[in-house]
Amino acid sequence: MQQQIWTNSLLRLCAGLACALTLSACSTSKEEMLPHGEANMLDVWEQGATSSIGNSRGRLLLDARQTLRRPIDPQQVASANDQADYTRTASNEIHSQFKRLPNPDLVMYVFPHLAGSDPAPVPGYTTVFPFYQRVQYAMPGERTEDY
C-alpha cells in the first residue's frame, strides 16, 4: 500500500514537472519574435523592391514605375465629366434620369374567400393591374407630363 502511494506521488511529480517544462519551453517574448524597428511601410516596400533584384536594378525598376505614374490629361478629365451625367450617384438615384411614362393602374380588392380542394381561408387583399403590358420609360429630357 505504501509503495502504491509512493508510486502515485512520483507519477504526479513527474507529470507536473513535464507540464512545467513543456509550457516554459514554448514561451518566447513578443519583442524577440517581432522586433519593432524605425522603418515605416514605404521603407519596407522600397527595401523589398530593391533587395530581391539587386540595388541598381531595383532602383531602375522604381524609376520606371515613377515614369509610368503620369498626371491625367485635361482632355480625359473633360470626357469623364461628360460621362458623369450617365453614371450612378446619390443625386441621380433620387431624381431618376429615365422617367416612367404614364401607365394607369387598375386597383382591385379581392374579398376574403376559401380556396383550393381542401378549402383554406384566404384573407382579403388588394392587387394592382397596369393597363399596358409593359412599363415604358422616357429618354432623358423627354417630356413625360401631359400635353
pLDDT of residue 49: 59
| pLDDT recorded at residue 94 | 66
pLDDT (0 to 100) of residue 64: 81
| Residue-wise pLDDT tens digits, 30-45 | 777 777 778 888 887 7
* pLDDT for 109: 95
Distance CA 69, CA 62 (A): 11
Stretch 73-84: mean pLDDT, rounded?
74
Whole-angstrom Cα distance, residue 109 to residue 126? 4
pLDDT at 53 over 60: no
The predicted pLDDT at position 52 comes to: 54
Q: How far is CA 124 from the centre of its chain?
A: 42
- pLDDT for res 142: 80
Contact (CB, 8 A) for 144 and 101: yes
- Cα gap 140→98, rounded to integer Å: 6
Q: What are phi and psi of 125, to 5 degrees?
A: -150, 165
The pLDDT of residue 107 is above 90: yes
Q: What is the pLDDT of residue 146?
A: 64
Say how far apart CA 60 and CA 53 lie, in whole Å. Answer: 10
pLDDT confidence band for 85 (50 / 70 / 90): low
Residue at 61: amino acid letter:
L
Q: Which of 96, 81, 87 shows the shortest CA–CA distance to 138?
A: 96
